[in-house]
C-alpha cells in the first residue's frame, strides 16, 4: 500500500498518515510486525518515502482512560455503541455497581498517568512524509 501511495504521490508531495499500533512492543528496535513504529519506518523507507516527522500518540494509560470513559456509553447500550444481538449475562448486572465505580476512578487516575505515557507503547503513529 505504501509503495502505491509513493507511486501516485507527486514528486515533492507530502503525505500524512495516522496509523494505529496493533500490539505491544517487544524486541525493540527489531520488532517489525503489527504496525509497530519500527516496521512503519522501515516500510516507508522501502517505499521511497522520506519521513519528515514521526510522533507517537497516546499509550497504555490514555487507552485505558478511553476504555473507561466508553464504559459509560457501552453499559447502558446507547445506540451505535453496542450490537443489538449481544446479550448481557446476569453477572454483568450483579457487578455493574463495582464496574461503574472502577471505571470512574480509572478515568481520573489513568488520565493523570497518561501525562507520562510510555513513548514506546503508543496507540497511534502520526507520520508526515514526502516523496523526494
| Tens-level pLDDT at each residue, the chain (132 residues) | 889 999 999 999 999 999 887 666 666 666 656 677 888 888 999 999 999 999 988 888 988 898 899 899 888 888 777 777 888 889 999 999 999 999 999 999 999 999 988 777 788 899 999 999
Q: What's the confidence (pLDDT) of residue 44?
A: 93
Cβ atoms of 72 and 107 closer than 8 Å: no
Q: What's the confidence (pLDDT) of residue 30?
A: 63
| Burial class, 114, CB count within 10 angstroms (exposed 0-12 / middle 13-18 / buried 19+) | middle
Mark out the alpha helices in the chain (DSSP H runs): 2-8, 37-46, 60-74, 90-113
Backbone angles phi, psi at 107, to 5 degrees: -55, -45
Domain ranges of the chain: 2-58+119-130, 60-116
Amino acid at each position: 500500500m505504501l509503495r502505491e501511495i509513493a507511486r501516485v504521490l507527486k514528486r515533492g508531495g507530502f503525505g500524512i498518515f495516522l496509523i494505529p499500533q496493533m500490539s505491544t512492543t517487544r524486541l525493540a528496535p527489531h520488532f517489525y510486525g503489527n504496525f509497530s513504529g519500527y516496521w512503519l519506518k522501515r516500510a516507508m523507507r522501502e517505499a521511497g518515502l522520506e519521513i519528515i516527522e514521526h510522533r507517537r500518540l497516546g499509550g497504555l494509560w490514555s487507552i485505558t482512560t478511553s476504555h473507561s470513559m466508553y464504559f459509560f456509553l457501552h453499559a447502558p447500550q446507547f445506540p451505535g455503541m453496542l450490537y443489538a444481538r449481544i446479550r448481557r449475562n446476569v453477572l454483568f448486572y450483579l457487578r455493574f455497581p463495582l464496574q461503574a465505580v472502577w471505571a470512574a476512578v480509572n478515568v481520573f487516575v489513568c488520565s493523570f498517568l497518561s501525562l507520562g505515557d510510555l513513548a514506546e507503547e503508543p496507540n497511534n503513529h502520526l507520520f508526515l512524509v514526502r516523496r523526494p
